[in-house]
Structure 1
Amino acid sequence: MPRGFFITFEGLDGSGKTTQLRLLHKWMAEQGHTVTTLRQPGGTKLGEGIRELIVSSKGEAAVGPIDSFTELALMFADRAQSIAEIIRPALDRGEIVLCDRYTDSSEAYQGGGRGLGSETILGLHRLLCGNLQPDLTVLLLPDFNASLARARRRDGDESRFEQEHNDFFQRVWDAYKVIAARESGRVVLIEGNASIDEVHATIVEEVSTRLFS
């Protein structure tokens, strides 16, 4: 493979995307591929510090309210660092890169949820990320209420976004649907409440078709 293959996973927290990323990593490793995985925000030393600040409920408590544009700027600082430090080098080595969230998350959460708009996010993506696009994006949108309830039941400190009202998440949801329609060649939208194994089988089929056909 002269260049690697870049796959991102998207959806609301509680959608099962992280579970599906792990399953795909295991499957692809079993096929003999070298796989690099990371999450955004996070994945680098700088990124994990940014994650602690803007995803953890403790971060905002420590520094005070975080402005929406500041939040967006931090997300892109994390993303630019992960591209330079992890994603581009791995792709140049011919590896499979699996990323838990990418620019679509910023378009959905900050563009839609925070009301900053898509053009702001897409402009920053072109400027700061060199317009690096995934080869494939898996977007999981199971039942809205069930997904949100699962996210809010989870233990741990990473609950800053889960404290938002339902109308915030409805805007995020709607933004994801717009992205899926606009980027239909890149985004595989998996809706409904299929089982973990059924969703994994669908993802494997899509990846196999795009990688090996």
Structure 2
Amino acid sequence: MRVKRFLKNFDTPGKLIVVEGIDGSGKSTQLRLLEKWLQYNNLEVFRTEWNSSNLVKSITSKGKKKANLTPITFSLLHATDFADRFERNILPLLRAGYIVLADRYIYTAYARDVTRGCNLTWVRKMYDFALKPDLTFYFRVPIDISMDRILSSRPKLKYYEAGMDLDLSKDVYESYRIFQSKIIEQYESMVKREKFTVIDATFSIKEQQKIMRDKTKQLLPSRKIKSNSEVII
């Protein structure tokens, strides 16, 4: 709470837009399209991704390869990654007036860490310093469609992605289904509380992108935004 009071002393004229959802929901594709559209409108944009800080990325990668990351270790590594990106990129650019696009935010930690058995209150306290997004899109997708999309682009499911560290099932595909379904439950529990804008990820790419652009235009009423039809997806 002291951190949040400290941040209130700083002006953050920029806007923070977040996308959330399980793997295979299409959120990353949609965020990249939104980024191009905003750039087309001559707006200053910065996109940041989960688990991308150079400070811990290599450590996390090594831990995953050896399959020896515990739920607590996983949680702490991701919290460190987020804190580094928040301090170095997210907050400074928001203060500079940028539109910051986050491919996953604190809600990913809430969903994944709790599913792995971490205490929700403990996880939330770790991210207590984070600013609340101006707009959060949650891409709701059936687990079967998610799995089909992932397997169509690569032959195998990843060990942690499938929740194999939790001994949910010996079969990697069944483990994925169980694990990701539990993550979906956590996301759904946050929809109202965190005021997510829910997007049906089974809609066409154009339909989903139109929803994102319309919501974003409402967030930027003072900016001159070109119509959706002026940019071909």
Alignment TM class, shorter chain as reference = 0.7 to 0.9
What does the per-residue CA deviation read over 1:48-97, in whole Å, with 9 as the maximum and x for residues that have no partner?
A: 325524xxxxx4333x4211010000000000000011101111110000
Q: 1:123 Cα shift?
A: 1.1
RMSD, aligned α-carbons: 2.1
Matches within 5 A, 1:72-151: 72-111=75-114, 113-126=115-128, 130-151=129-150
Amino acid aligned to 1:140: F
Aligned to 2:192: 181
Aligned to 2:182: 171
Structure 1: gaps spanning 5 or more residues: 54-58
Q: 1:21 Cα shift?
A: 0.7
Kindly indicate whether structure 1 or structure 2 has the higher relative contact order, using CA contacts under 8 Å at least 6 residues apart.
Answer: 1
Aligned to 1:68: 71
- Contact 1:47-1:82 within 8 A present in 2 as well: no
Runs of 4+ in 1 over 4 A off after TM superposition: none
Q: 1:122 Cα shift?
A: 1.0
Q: Distance in 1 between matches of 2:79 and 2:143?
A: 27
- Contact 1:6-1:136 within 8 A present in 2 as well: yes
Amino acid aligned to 2:77: L
CA change 1:207–1:158 in 2 (3 A) is: farther
Q: 1:3 Cα shift?
A: 1.1
What does the per-residue CA deviation read over 1:172-202, in whole Å, with 9 as the maximum and x for residues that have no partner?
A: 0010001112112xx2111251001100000
CA change 1:117–1:67 in 2 (3 A) is: same
CA change 1:125–1:146 in 2 (3 A) is: same
CA change 1:13–1:192 in 2 (3 A) is: closer
Q: 1:38 Cα shift?
A: 1.1
Q: Distance in 2 between matches of 1:107 and 1:131?
A: 13
Amino acid aligned to 1:84: E
Q: Distance in 2 between matches of 1:83 and 1:20?
A: 22
Aligned to 2:220: 211
Higher percent of residues as helix: 1
Amino acid aligned to 1:100: D
Aligned to 2:17: 7
Q: Distance in 1 between matches of 2:42 and 2:157?
A: 34
The percent identity for this pair of structures is 28
What does the per-residue CA deviation read over 1:15-40, in whole Å, with 9 as the maximum and x for residues that have no partner?
A: 00110010000011111101001101
Amino acid aligned to 2:81: D
CA change 1:145–1:107 in 2 (3 A) is: same
Structure with larger Rg: 2
Q: 1:107 Cα shift?
A: 0.7
Tell me the matched-pair count: 200
Q: Distance in 1 between matches of 2:151 and 2:79?
A: 25
- Contact 1:40-1:47 within 8 A present in 2 as well: no
Q: Distance in 2 between matches of 1:39 and 1:5?
A: 16
